[in-house]
Structure 1
Amino acid sequence: MQTPSATTPHLIAAGFHALSDQLRISVLELLRQRELCVCDLCEALGVNQSKLSFHLKTLKEAGLVHSRQEGRWIYYSLNLPQFSILEEYLADFSHNRVIFSARSCCD
């Protein structure tokens, strides 16, 4: 992987944990289109702010989203480099499968 400091096992595990919840996936799908404030996310998802805040914290701790404050609102956007790290991590397994399947047990 290309950025060892950003690919610690903790961040990889946190990334996959963050992707394991339907509401968090829905948040990410909305953020694929554009940056959104918490109020817009709450409205689009039909959830209250306290419930959403818990899920946004999980996404932020996993490095999957950025946040910025403007006035009293917090806006969220995707952190695409972190998604690339998770993608590269999974791609390494596919690459290893090809290498291992080319070997025989008696080589």
Structure 2
Amino acid sequence: MTTPSAPTLAQGPAHEVQRCPPLTRTALDTSQAETAAAIFKALGDPVRLRIFSMIASAPDGELCVCDVVDVGVSQPTISHHLRKLREAGLLTSRKEATWVHYRVAPGVLAATAALLAPPG
């Protein structure tokens, strides 16, 4: 029995949010609302939000899983949260030796900011 693979960036909600209009321009349809909600759900956990902000604010834009510390949870739980962020299309990852390095997926911050843009 095979397990389904994690969504790729092209399949994840963060990729789809780029097609959503700003909330202040028009009401979202059901599909757009589900897409945006998946992003907000992934970022709705305080630990996940802290981890995401650590990666987004890393000096070189990338952070090794070994550097995600002091977030109040164990390493296995950190890995779980990183997986959820990656599955939502918010992060990309690459493996280097035994460590995994994470980056914010291209376009995610701009697409999310555009969704929340004020009118005008």
TM-score, with structure 1 as normaliser: 0.69
State how far apart, in whole Å, the 2-side matches of 1:83 and 1:13 are.
15
- The share of aligned pairs that are identical, in percent, is 35
Counterpart position of 1:58: 84
Post-superposition Cα deviations, 1:29-78, rounded to whole Å, max 9, x if no partner, equal: 2111241111211x343532211111111111222111110111111111
Structure 2: distance between partners of 1:12 and 1:46? 27
Q: Of the two, which has the highest radius of gyration?
A: 1
User: Which structure: greater helix fraction?
Assistant: 1
> Residue in 1 aligned with 2:38?
14
Count, aligned residues: 89
**Aligned ranges 1:1-107 → 2 under 5 Å:** 6-7=16-17, 9=32, 10-31=34-55, 32-33=57-58, 34-41=61-68, 43-91=69-117, 94-95=118-119
User: What letter corresponds to residue 64 of structure 1 in structure 2?
Assistant: L
Gaps of 5+ in 2: 1-14, 20-31
Q: How far is 1:12 from its partner?
A: 2.1
Conserved 8 A contact 1:66-1:79 = yes
Q: Alignment partner of 1:69: what SS?
A: strand
RMSD (Å) for aligned C-alpha atoms: 2.1
The gaps in structure 1 that reach 5 residues or longer are 99-107
